[in-house]
Chain A
Amino acid sequence: MRRLRGKLAPYLLSLPSWVYLLMFFLIPLGSMLGMALATGDPLDGYTMSDNFQEFVDAFTNYQDSFYRSFWFGTASTVVTLLLAYPVAYWIAFHAGRYKSSFLFLIMLPFFVSFVIRVEAWQFILADQGFIFGPLKSIGLLPQNFHVLSTQWAVIGGLVYNSFAYYVLPLYVVLEKIDRRLVRAANDLYATPATAFIKIILPLSAPGVFAGFLLVFVTNVGDFVNADILGGPGTYMIGNVIQDAFFVNQDYPMAAALSSMLMLMLMLAILLYSKAFGTDAIQEYAA
């Protein structure tokens, strides 16, 4: 009996999480898939069916937005990584006893609402704003120059908003790296660059991996940046889903698009972990 209880204990202990997953993940997921296949309209109600046409339409009508979302997501994540890595590295290795102060500074913008921060960029980057206005009036920039309403503004907004989410996981792994390994490399006549490439970079791989997922998945589904900073031709799939759901009340389409986005993200994550391998990362970490 005791042995049985011992075997069951981990499952019993994890029961709340299973219930949570079921209630807030599996059931909504199921009803979303059901809705995607349903036929009808909001006035007469919906009936369950196997209307796979909705998925075909969703893809043919909105494939540009899908591609664009993945392009924005990838570009913004890579740029965020390139910006966040040096910062995390510097804090972990050179900030000394001010580490927590610097981390706090990085988190500071998060005390202000997300949307307000994005809107602030709208003012900073305004055509006649306090940056571009003077530059235009002294003729350094052509009158027609603008950053807002371009895809670069959207990608920039995504980078800005995900920066801290990348710094933190990178900082955590960099901080844990055994400094004696770096010193040993130096003793063995490795240049600082070699030491970085052979020791620090591989050991920080788990942070790069975790941060990439965190930022990429969030950014692909984002719609706020495209809405506020974008222009014609920056519509992301998140915006399309918003419209389908709220404006057009086309619930089957919204559900189909959401399911497809989720599937694609899952696939991307799967391929990503296959390519860069959780095993490889474990190895590095060991």
Chain B
Amino acid sequence: MSEDELPGNAREQAFLRGLTQPRLTRQNFLRGAAGVALAALAPQISRAETVTDWNAWWAAQKPTTDFVFANWPYYIDVQGSGSDHPSIDAFTKQTGIKVKYMEVIQNNAPFYAQIAPVLKSGQPTGYDMIVMTNHWELTELILQKWLVPLWKEKVPNFAKYASPSVVNPAYDPGNKYTMAWQSGFTGIAYNPKLTKREITSFEDLWDPAFAGHVGMFNDNTELGSAALLKLGIDPATSTVEDWHKAAATLRDQKNKGLVRQYYDQSYINALQNGDIWITQAWSGDIYQANSKGYKDLKFVVPKEGIMMWHDNMAIPVGAKNPLSALAWMNYYYTPEAAGIIEDYINYICPVPAAKDYILNVIKDPTVANSPLVFPSDADLKKAHDFYAFKSYAEFQKWNSIFNPIIQA
């Protein structure tokens, strides 16, 4: 019965998020497209011929005037009715490339479930560029060889303008397959009126004074990473032994009745309603909550460090207009384009030079001076990356250690 219900509910959920959330359902777990995903269960069909010489492949590509860009909802600048995107219009004017902009990615896992069977059967996905978070699904795309290695010479602006925080990341050494679209912090948010004190550390999530009002994430990557940081371990270089230690401290937190719930995106409502006083949080959400009128809520970079995630542009194999995708990446990595987009979406801009553009040309000092959009170097120094899984077995190991905490 529950399987039957799934697609409908997932759709409703997606719809609902569209009504209530800015950049919706980042990590939320009622996921769409179960029907499509079922196809992934089908016995493997023969794999498509893999390209061995990507240089030759790139050399053979002809410029086109089309570009299909699959992105998350509410993740680009919007003007007027909602279908008008100034940054895209400017790109079309500059290059003559027509952009088909599609807001089709609700979340990493369901989107992966949609495209994986297609890629597996060697068919084109129909997208020239997709945006994926540096989670397991992105690693999986790379391991399956389902992403086209980027032709760097066509994207000179990346070397020129990219923030050091997105260059040569652990999940994609040398930016072979990806370039960041946006980044974000996962830190701690709290309501000072309810906690009645300042929050500075991950230890505060374990403070018995907040029993029953602590929010943690149900995304086990985020959950485990927070515990690792609390123990002073860098998640990116952690070992299985560390994971067990982190799980033990999380179990302790749960058994003492501190945790109100393991939340998906809905933590932000719980924080606004006062159900939780202190919680793991995504920086962009708190920025938007503040500007929506929840001025009390505070986001902190804990003293132990902070998690930084990246949403990445990548070209799936079978893309019809790969050169257009490179042109877009090169266009995006300019202060003008990144500035226009950033002024609207308010996560962390991968182009630091966009700050001056937003300040002086767009004249929006609130965004330009926000430490959540353009973090200080001190904050960036404290930023940690997620552990980059090297195999499915590792991913499964992590799950087997952290899932029981959420599920029991």
Interface of B is mostly: helix
Q: How far is the CA of A249 from the CA of B108 in the complex (A)?
A: 12
CB-CB under 8 A for A247 and B143, given A129-B273, A242-B30:
no
12 further interface pairs, Cβ-Cβ under 8 Å (given A62-B407, A230-B261, A243-B403):
A43-B144, A113-B15, A119-B16, A129-B273, A133-B274, A148-B275, A149-B275, A223-B2, A235-B407, A238-B2, A245-B37, A255-B41
Complex contact B392–A42 (CB within 8 A): yes
Q: Which of these binds chain B: A8-16, A97-105, A214-222? A: A214-222
7 A-B interface contacts by CB (under 8 A): A31-B42, A35-B41, A128-B273, A133-B274, A241-B2, A242-B31, A261-B2
Instruction: Pick from A128, A144, A261: contact of B212, CB below 8 A.
Output: A144
Tell me which of B12, B259, B391 has the highest count of chain A C-beta atoms within 10 A of its own C-beta: B12
Chain B residues closer than 8 Å to A42, beta-carbon distance: 40, 116, 140, 392
Question: Is residue A166 within 8 Å, beta carbon to beta carbon, of the partner chain?
Answer: no
Which residues of the other chain, A, contact B264 by a CB distance below 8 angstroms?
A: 227
B275–A113 CB distance below 8 A: no
Assess whether B29 is in contact with A149, with CB atoms less than 8 Å apart: no
CA distance A123 to B20 in the complex (A): 13
Tell me the bound Cα distance from A231 to B9 in angstroms. 20
Say if the beta carbon of B266 comes within 8 Å of chain A.
yes
Task: Say if the beta carbon of B43 comes within 8 Å of chain A.
Answer: yes
Which B residues are closer than 8 A to A by beta carbons? 1-3, 5-6, 8-9, 12-13, 15-16, 20, 29-31, 34, 37-38, 40-44, 109-110, 113, 116, 136, 140, 143-144, 211-213, 219-220, 254, 259-262, 264, 266, 269-270, 273-275, 391-393, 395-396, 399, 403-404, 406-408
Residue A268 interfacial (CB < 8 Å): no
Give the number of residues in A that approach B within 8 Å (Cβ atoms): 60
> Closest B-chain residue to A48, C-beta based?
B43
Determine if A228 and B266 form an interchain contact, defined as CB atoms under 8 angstroms apart: yes
A122 touches B261 (CB 8 A): no
Docked CA distance A122–B270 (Å): 8
With a cutoff of 8 Å between Cβ atoms, the chain A residues found around residue B140 in the complex are: 42-43
CB < 8 Å A-B pair total? 140
Complex partner residue of B30 from A129, A227, A230, CB under 8 angstroms: A227
With a CB–CB cut-off of 8 A, which chain B residues contact A127? Answer: 213, 273-275
| B146, chain A: closest CB distance, angstroms | 11
* Contact yes or no, A115 B396, CB < 8 A: no
A214-270, CB < 8 A from B: 217-218, 220-224, 227-228, 230-233, 235, 238-243, 245-251, 255, 258, 261, 265
- The complex places the Cα of A71 from the Cα of B222 at a distance, in Å, of 31
Is A4 on the interface with B (CB-CB < 8 A)? no
If the complex has contacts A42-B140, A149-B260, A247-B29, are A31 and B407 also in contact, measured as CB distance less than 8 A? Answer: no
Which of B37, B44, B212, B404 makes the CB contact (< 8 A) with A146? Answer: B212
Asked if A31 contacts B41 (CB within 8 A), the reply is yes
Known: A42-B392, A227-B29, A243-B29. A258 touches B407 (CB 8 A): no
A126 at the interface (CB under 8 A from B): yes
When the two chains form their complex, are residues A64 and B2 in contact, meaning their CB atoms are under 8 A apart?
no
Q: Known contacts A35-B41, A43-B140; decide if A235 and B406 are in contact (CB<8 Å).
A: yes
> Among the listed A115, A217, A220, A261, which residue makes an inter-chain contact with B13, where contact means beta carbons less than 8 Å apart?
A115
Residues of A whose CB lies within 8 Å of any CB of B are 28, 31, 35, 41-46, 61-62, 64-65, 113-116, 119, 122-123, 126-129, 133, 144, 146, 148-149, 217-218, 220-224, 227-228, 230-233, 235, 238-243, 245-251, 255, 258, 261, 265
- Chain A residue with Cβ nearest B17: A115
CA distance A248 to B37 in the complex (A): 13
B66 to chain A, nearest CB (A): 32
- Quick one: closest A residue to B277, CB to CB? A127
Collect the chain B residues with CB atoms within 8 Å of residue A251's CB. 40-41
CB distance from A181 to the nearest CB of B (A): 36
Question: Which residues of chain B are within 8 angstroms of A45 by Cβ–Cβ distance?
Answer: 43-44
When distances are taken between beta carbons in the complex, the residues of chain A under 8 Å from B41 are 31, 35, 251, 255
**In whole angstroms, how far apart are the Cα atoms of A217 and B211 in the complex?**
35
Closest to A69 in B: B2
Query: Which 10 pairs, one residue from A and one from B, show the smallest C-beta to C-beta distance?
Result: A221-B2, A128-B274, A126-B273, A45-B44, A41-B392, A231-B261, A221-B1, A115-B12, A113-B12, A238-B2
Chain A residues contacting B20 (CB-CB under 8 Å) are 119
Q: Are B12 and A116 in contact (CB under 8 A)?
A: yes
Query: Given known contacts A223-B2, A242-B29, is B16 in contact with A113 (CB within 8 Å)?
Result: yes
CA A45 to CA B46, docked complex, whole Å: 11
The closest CB in chain A to the CB of B194 belongs to: A128
- In the assembled complex, the Cα of A144 lies from the Cα of B214 at a distance in Å of 12
Do A114 and B110 touch (CB < 8 A)?
no
Tell me the bound Cα distance from A228 to B44 in angstroms. Answer: 36
Task: Provide the residues of chain A in CB contact with B44, threshold 8 Å.
Answer: 45-46
Chain B residues, Cβ within 8 Å of A227: 29-30, 264
The chain A residue with its CB closest to the CB of B220 is: A247
Given contacts A126-B275, A230-B261, contact A217 B31 (CB under 8 A): no
Q: For A261, what are the chain B residues with a Cβ–Cβ distance below 8 Å?
A: 2
Q: A224 to B274, Cβ gap below 8 A?
A: no
CA distance A264 to B1 in the complex (A): 13
Hey, which chain A residues are within 8 Å of B254, CB to CB? 232
Q: How far is the CB of B233 from chain A (nearest CB, A)?
A: 23
Q: A62-B407, A221-B1 are in contact. Are A43 and B260 (CB under 8 A)?
A: no
- A232-B273 in contact (CB<8A): no
Given contacts A232-B254, A247-B220, contact A43 B392 (CB under 8 A): yes
CB closest chain-A residue, reference B47: A45
Q: Known: A148-B275, A149-B261, A230-B261. Is A246-B212 also a contact (CB below 8 A)?
A: no
Closest residue of chain B to A127 (Cβ to Cβ) is B275
